[in-house]
Structure 1
Amino acid sequence: MNSKLAVIVGAGPGVGNHVAKKFGENGFRIVLISRNPNSLEQYVDELRALGIEAHGVAGDAGSTESLQAAFAQVKQHHGVTDVLVYNAAVLGGGKPTSLTAETLIRHLQVDVAGALTSALQVVPDQTERQDGTILFTGGALSLYPSANYASLSIGKAAMRNLALSLAEELSPQGIFVGTVTIAGQVKPGTNFDPARIAELYWDLYETREKHEIVFTGKE
């Protein structure tokens, strides 16, 4: 296993798969983690059609146990994760007064706890090697919350804080942590085209200079 391994949690036709393609085109082996086995197989086939070594592992970002099992499988069959990209989130709307505590906790399990769980699966090996990268998909709601998307606003704000605090803690261990804060709706053919956004993840990985890119679509 000479080529590096990138693991993307939250595979999908938007940012997740385009980030996978970007890293794959640059020589990485790719593992996609998603809870839908049928979609996962399709996404893997699309990457392989481009000549990228890709594999799929079923895992639910809303379940700590499921993520732990998925990463154990990744390590057993594909080796140590060099780059982790956490791209999972619950995208539903809802005003603060329409939320229940149970709904908020369920959403935060994906938006924040899943991000932490995924990071904790790769940190020990990356610390031992004194090298590694962890990247998170953020959103402008972390900076400018919306009453119409209360739980997502809370989740993205918490995840942003997680990313930046992890960056501070893990930097002395040679681990780079960054987040791409996407300030717009991801849509092909627009300024927020997922292929364009994927370039930002690669830029963070290569430069390891700033820990957050706030992408407004005007860059």
Structure 2
Amino acid sequence: MSKKLAVIVGAGPGVGNHVAKKFGLNGFRIILISRSLNSLNTYVDALRSEGIEAYGITADAGSAESLEQAFDQIKQSYGVTDVLVYNAVTRVGGKPTTLTPEVLLNNLSVDVGGALTSALQVIPDQRKRKEGTILFTGGSIAMHPSPDYSSLSIGKAAMRNLALTLAAELAPEGIFVGTVTISGVVQAVTDYDPEQIANVYWDLFEKRDQHEVIY
């Protein structure tokens, strides 16, 4: 039997790569998606050094067309996505009065638009098989908005609602949707160590007993 496939949109040295490693060490093939080819190559090499089958694909999470092309390539080259983890985000500070509609919409194109686009690429095949998992990286700023990070607050709130409404719609079809709501700054050797957070994603994937974990 071939390995299952996990796709992580928003590769990076924090949560994204640690989630990739966790799933990879548990027998998944890994696809990392990021805008930077040089960074992707470094991340993929690091996973392969752990004995993980890993590949990288460049795409812009803020562009629906770019994501659609990336997922088309994934399906053609690697098969159906069993687990999607959406980890991309635009971390831009600023009070609401400093925002323009253009900046807000541009940020939302990554924070929630990319999440929806990515999910829509994998849902049809998961529906056919009546199984699959979609996980989102959330933040407590969605429930406790910060005036200094107004755009991020709005984006995470929208993504949280997307995750929970998708969960309600897709559960009867065998597709599990969940979100890990991180309540602090991700940093190694702290309570928010990305390696420990990655374990939460794995537990959520395995247990499927709640649609939101607040960490």
For normalisation by structure 1, the TM-score amounts to: 0.98
Q: Match for residue 49 of structure 2?
A: 49
Q: Match for residue 128 of structure 1?
A: 128
d(CA) in 2 for partners of 1:128, 1:76: 17
Counterparts in 2 of 1:157-176, with a 5 A limit? 157-176=157-176
Q: Match for residue 149 of structure 1?
A: 149
Secondary structure class of the residue paired with 2:192: coil
Q: Match for residue 13 of structure 1?
A: 13
1:149-168, CA deviations, whole angstroms, 9 ceiling, x for partnerless residues? Answer: 00000000000000000000
Percent sequence identity over aligned pairs: 68
Q: Match for residue 99 of structure 1?
A: 99
Superposed displacement of residue 71, structure 1: 0.3
d(CA) in 1 for partners of 2:109, 2:49: 34
Q: Match for residue 85 of structure 1?
A: 85
- Root mean square deviation, CA, Å: 0.5
Unaligned runs of 5+ in 1: none
d(CA) in 1 for partners of 2:100, 2:164: 28
> What amino acid maps onto 2:186 in structure 1?
V
Superposed displacement of residue 98, structure 1: 0.2
Q: Match for residue 70 of structure 1?
A: 70
- The list of structure 1 runs, each at least 4 consecutive aligned residues, that deviate by more than 6 angstroms after superposition, is none
Secondary structure class of the residue paired with 2:190: coil
Superposed displacement of residue 64, structure 1: 0.4
Q: Match for residue 29 of structure 2?
A: 29
> What amino acid maps onto 1:189 in structure 2?
V
* Count of equivalent residues: 215
Q: Match for residue 110 of structure 1?
A: 110
d(CA) in 2 for partners of 1:62, 1:161: 19
d(CA) in 1 for partners of 2:44, 2:162: 29
1:174-204, CA deviations, whole angstroms, 9 ceiling, x for partnerless residues? Answer: 0000000000000001000000000010011
1:54-82, CA deviations, whole angstroms, 9 ceiling, x for partnerless residues? Answer: 00011110100000000000001000000
> What amino acid maps onto 1:173 in structure 2?
E
> What amino acid maps onto 1:28 in structure 2?
F
For normalisation by structure 2, the TM-score amounts to: 0.99
